[in-house]
Amino acid sequence: MGKRPLVRRRGRGGMQFRATVTGKQAPAKYPYFELSEEHTGTVIDLVHERGRDAPLAKVRFEDGSISRIPAVLGTKIGSTIKFGLNADIANGNVISIQNIPDGTVVCNIEKHFGDGGSIAKTAGSSATVFSHNVDGVILKLPSGSFTTLNPKNRAMIGILAGGGASERPFLNAGNKWRRYRSKGRKYPIVRGVAQAAYVHPHGGGRHQHMGGGGTVSRNAPPGAKVGSIAARKTGRARVKERA
């Protein structure tokens, strides 16, 4: 009967495929404040969290509460972060997108008001406030696509720090394995043709080959659903020159 392929073992949700919780600081999100309230916090420390490239700013507010918020470029210990509709358009301040002018670069944007930020949250990423209309506020995302959000949603002015960390070479396989492990990803990924026949549908044989077509049906059973799934066409794209 054989073993389940890797994609099926991952889907089962075992501990080896989950991101570890060891070394986590706290939820990296905005504290929940009412929209009409104005608060000021001071950055008391910049901390690293396992599996996260962007540094976290440890912010203490005037009421004594402490939150950890992804830090933007230029944040340092002693910096001030302001929350509120009337906060200045300055790096690190958190404002509802309805009060942010068009063309402003923002990050850590709330998808739903009060969720603490979930869009453009990776190191070095940012989005742009594109326009305001009756349906909401349109933002241009890091992918280049556009989305319309509720005007109440909050965003932080600036670009998230830590950009370029993912561009450094790993230099050896051990570093890459530890990096992937901290994020709950599997490494190394073994090719199907390099596996045994009982482990993978592409495995086995006297030399490494699939033994058949690499395109499978959308409705194929999970054990056979490997390769190019429901591909319309495969192979290298050839653009014909017009005469």
DSSP 8-state secondary structure symbol assigned to residue 223: G
CA-CA distance, 110 to 96, in Å (whole number)? 9
- Confirm whether 30 is domain-assigned: no
Same domain, 44 and 140: yes
Strands (E), 182-221: 215-216
Same domain, 47 and 120: yes
CATH code of the domain covering residue 59: 2.30.30.30
Strands (E), 48-187: 56-61, 66-70, 80-83, 94-96, 105-107, 127-133, 136-140, 146-149, 154-157
Question: Is the pTM for the entire model greater than 0.75?
Answer: yes
pLDDT at 186: 84
Same domain, 103 and 210: no
CA-CA distance, 222 to 202, in Å (whole number)? 14
- Confirm whether 26 is domain-assigned: no
pLDDT at 193: 94
pLDDT at 242: 61
pLDDT at 216: 93
- Confirm whether 7 is domain-assigned: yes
CA-CA distance, 58 to 31, in Å (whole number)? 12
Number of domains in the chain: 2
Same domain, 139 and 204: no
pLDDT at 116: 92
Same domain, 196 and 102: no
The H helix count followed by the E strand count for the chain is: 2, 12
Provide the residue type at 88 as one letter. Answer: D
CA-CA distance, 163 to 53, in Å (whole number)? 8
CATH code of the domain covering residue 221: 4.10.950.10
CA-CA distance, 52 to 56, in Å (whole number)? 9
- Confirm whether 64 is domain-assigned: yes
Q: Which domain holds residue 69?
A: 39-157
Provide the residue type at 103 as one letter. Answer: G
Cis bond leading into 55, ω under 30°? no
Q: Which two tokens stand for residue 228?
A: 């190019």
pLDDT at 158: 95
User: Residues near 68 by Cβ (< 8 Å), separated by ≥ 6?
Assistant: 25, 26, 27, 28, 47, 49, 56, 57, 58, 59
**Sign of torsion, CA 66 70 72 73?**
positive
Same domain, 150 and 202: no
- Greatest extent of the chain over all pairs of C-alpha atoms, in Å: 73
User: Looking up tokens 């942010």, which residue turns up?
Assistant: 100
pLDDT at 137: 96
Q: Are 82 and 37 in contact (CB under 8 A)?
A: no
Pairing mode of beta strands 80-83, 66-70:
unpaired
Q: List average pLDDT for each run of 10 residues in the chain, which is 243 residues long.
A: 74 82 88 90 93 93 93 94 92 94 96 93 94 94 95 95 89 93 86 90 93 92 87 84 59
User: Up-side HSE of residue 226: CA atoms within 13 Å toward CB?
Assistant: 17
CA-CA distance, 67 to 52, in Å (whole number)? 16
DSSP 8-state secondary structure symbol assigned to residue 112: S
